[in-house]
Amino acid sequence: MHHGLEKSSLSSAAARNTLLFGTGLCTSDLLSQPLTRAILRDCSIVTPEYELKWDAICRDPDLPDYSAADQLMSFASDNNLAVHGHTLWWHEAVPPLLGTSSEDQFRDAALDHLRATMTRYAGQLHSWDVVNEPLEPADGRADGLRVTPFLSAFGPDYIETAFRQASALDPKAVLVLNEMGLEYASPTAERKRRQMLALLEREKTRGTPIACLGIQSHLTALEQPRDHPDLRAFLREVRAMGLSVMITELDVSDHLCPQDRRQRDALVAETYRAYLDLAFEEADVLAVSTWGLSDDRTWLNSFRPRPDGAPQRPLLLDRAVRRKPAWHAVRDALLNGRRAGARIQ
């Protein structure tokens, strides 16, 4: 299947601007033929939603199990899809049994996991979220770092350690620092943006091989401003530092929208469009991935249920895998693509 060559697909629209378009997926998605077909039609990159996480691989810490991750890797290579690796070090994916270990034991286990996983797939991935969600302003540290077992075991150098290891093990992969909440319009988000810029400056000075900033982009319609000067300025600074950007987990919660489907779909579509237009204007975007393609596969019904109990419609395809206004909005934005000069040479 020549997914990238089909005229009417998101991956072909993205390719015109040398961008990748993709989705998060999990092994159970491959049981649905309509969804699999949609993935092959619209995507040039896929991100395993949890199969590469530490806790998923190490359900039994003594017996790492890569079978689910392998299955997704084969699906991708059989179908000529790039893979974004998500994620090596994330505080929410620490195997529960490690909670009681000493700092030395934790350090060894974290390094073992990173080395084993990257060695297994070296040369096969487009990119890796090496560290996920390192900042938490509410934890009260001046550097903004989230207080996690990684921070306790390695100290604030843990980010440098992870990226240096990663770059030695898989020199071709784009190494990404992935973060949530950088895209919002609140004082907390602005604080996080400043802390992120400071973090990136600090790491750059030390020569930490971070190539790309991952911006998760779990947006909310009616909350995400269409003009967002602070985000614009932030992305401009990231680009000035020589870093590219990946939009890694894009979706648009409709929990604040009226129930009427047409209104909801229009608001969600508009949120996608304005957000991508802004990002393409200011950042060197390598890839855009949504967190699922069809509305029956969203995490938002449990995380952000609508007050009226109606199912969320946050993605590009409806539950019957039909295109929604959001699909067309994303296609238009991808076709407009990055503006002149945005590419880093």
Closest-CA residue to 315 (of 276, 256, 265, 279): 265
Q: What is the DSSP letter of 137?
A: G
49 binds ligand 9MR (CB under 6 A): yes
Residue 208 or 216: which CB sits closer to ligand 9MR? 216
* Count of residues that bind ligand 9MR according to CB under 6 A: 8
CB of 49 to ligand 9MR, least distance (A): 5
CB of 299 to ligand 9MR, least distance (A): 4
CB of 328 to ligand 9MR, least distance (A): 25
Indicate the burial class of 98 (C-beta count within 10 angstroms; 0-12, 13-18, 19 or more). middle
Q: Which one of 42, 136, 249, 318 is in contact with ligand 9MR (CB under 6 A)?
A: 249
Residue 16 or 319: which CB sits closer to ligand 9MR? 319
Residue 53 or 193: which CB sits closer to ligand 9MR? 53
Measure the CA angle with vertex 289, ends 243 and 264; round to 5°: 125
Q: Which one of 6, 15, 27, 50 is in contact with ligand 9MR (CB under 6 A)?
A: 50
CB of 282 to ligand 9MR, least distance (A): 22
Rg over CA atoms, the chain: 19
Distance from C-alpha of 106 to C-alpha of 99, rounded to nearest angstrom: 8
129 binds ligand 9MR (CB under 6 A): no
* Residues between 74 and 113 with contacts to ligand 9MR, criterion CB under 6 A: 93
Site string for ligand 9MR, 169-208 (x = CB under 6 A): -----------x----------------------------
Distance from C-alpha of 22 to C-alpha of 2, rounded to nearest angstrom: 15
Q: What is the DSSP string of 2-66?
A: -GGG-TTSHHHHHHTTT-EEEEEE-GGGGG-HHHHHHHHHH-SEEEESSTTSHHHHTSSTTS---
Residue 287 or 342: which CB sits closer to ligand 9MR? 287
Q: Which one of 9, 11, 23, 216 is in contact with ligand 9MR (CB under 6 A)?
A: 216
CB of 345 to ligand 9MR, least distance (A): 31
CB of 135 to ligand 9MR, least distance (A): 13
CA distances to 27, 169, 175, 233, 327 from 166, rounded to whole Å, are 25, 5, 8, 30, 35
CB of 249 to ligand 9MR, least distance (A): 5
Q: Which one of 4, 21, 35, 53 is in contact with ligand 9MR (CB under 6 A)?
A: 53
Distance from C-alpha of 181 to C-alpha of 188, rounded to nearest angstrom: 9
Structure tokens at 250: 């894009």
299 binds ligand 9MR (CB under 6 A): yes
Positions touching ligand 9MR (CB under 6 A) are: 49-50, 53, 93, 180, 216, 249, 299
